[in-house]
Amino acid sequence: MAVRVDRDKETGVAVVTLDRPEKHNAITLDMARELAAVWRGFRYEDEVRAIVVTGSGGRAFCTGIDRDAVGDIPQPSSPYTIDDPLLTIGPKANDLWKPVIAAVEGMACGGAFYLLGEAEFLVAGEDATFFDPHTTYGMVSAFETIHMAQRMPYGEIARMALMGSAERVSARRAYETGLVSELTPAGGALEAALRAAAVVAAHPTEAVQGTVRALWSVTEASRAPALAHAPHLVALGNLTPERQAGLFTGRGKGYRTR
C-alpha cells in the first residue's frame, strides 16, 4: 500500500502518509482511490478526531500525478467534461469535516495542491518548496490554482502558476505570505503538525468539526463555480502530448527560489 495510515488512540490523531519516496510520493490511480477511501472511512471512526497528511522520505511531500505510471488518461471529446483522477483525493471532496493539517518537507507541486488546498493549515520544514509546472508544459493550471487561491494572495498564486517550473516558492516566502502557518527546521514539520493536531483533537469534536465547516462555508460560494469552470479551461487550453513534445523540449530546467 502506497498510502499508509497510523492511528494514535491516546491522542485521537491519525497520520496519512504518501509512501512512495522513490517517486517523490507521486500519485498513482491506485493511490487516488486509496486516499478517497481513507478520507471517507475516517467519517466513521469516532476515535480519530484530527488528521495529519504528509509524505515520506523528506525529499517531497508530493509531486502530483505519476505520469510514468498512469500514462495519458483518456478524455471525453467534449470540452465540457474531463476525467481527473485527483478530483477526489482530498478530505473535503469526500465529505470529511474533521480537521486536517499538512506537514510538508521538500517539494510540493502540481497535483499536491489538491491535498494542500483542502487542509486546514500547513506546517513546513525550512527546505520545503512550492511550485506549479503546468504552464511550462502547455497545460492549464485550473484546479490547482483554484484550490490554492483560497489560501494564497492573488499575486502570489498568479506568479507561481504563470512562472511555471522557472520559479519555486521557498518555505520562508510561503510563511511570509500566509500559505504556511508554522515554519520548522528541516525534518521537523511532522512533529510540529502532530503537536498541533493533538491540541485540536483534545477539544470537543462537535465544536471542532462545526468550526471547520463554518470556515469552509466562507469559500464555497466562490470555489464551487470556479471548479465548475475548470474542466472547460483545461479541455480548451491544454496542448496535446505531441505539441508538448515538439514545443517544450528542454524548457523549464532552470529555476530560481524566492
- Asked if 165 and 133 count as a contact pair (C-beta separation under 8 A), the reply is yes
Closest CA to 177 of 185, 189, 169: 169
Sign of CA dihedral 67, 233, 227, 110: positive
Instruction: Summarize pLDDT for 174-196 with one digit per residue, the tens.
Output: 999 999 999 999 999 999 999 99
Q: Is residue 67 predicted with pLDDT exceeding 70?
A: yes
Contacts of 79 (CB under 8 A, 6+ apart): 231, 232, 235, 236
Note the pLDDT of residue 80.
Answer: 66
Residue type, 65: I
- Taken in order of first residue, the domains within the chain and their CATH numbers are 3-74+81-185 (3.90.226.10)
Confidence of residue 236 (pLDDT cuts 50, 70, 90): confident
Local structure of residue 180 (DSSP, 8 states): -
pTM to 2 decimals? 0.88
Report, as an integer, the average pLDDT of 69-74: 64
Report, as an integer, the average pLDDT of 83-105: 92
Q: Is residue 147 predicted with pLDDT exceeding 60?
A: yes
How far from 251 is each of 15, 112, 254, CA to CA, in Å? 37, 22, 8
Note the pLDDT of residue 104.
Answer: 98
Q: Is residue 135 predicted with pLDDT exceeding 70?
A: yes
Q: Is residue 255 predicted with pLDDT exceeding 80?
A: no
Contacts 24+ apart (CB under 8 A), 38-44: 38/3, 38/5, 39/90, 39/91, 39/93, 39/94, 39/96, 40/94, 40/95, 40/96, 42/14, 42/91, 42/96, 42/98, 43/94, 43/95, 43/96, 43/98
Confidence of residue 254 (pLDDT cuts 50, 70, 90): low
How far from 187 is each of 39, 57, 140, CA to CA, in Å? 25, 10, 32
Q: Give the side-chain half-sphere CA count within 13 A for 75.
A: 17
**Higher-scoring residue by pLDDT: 53, 111:** 53
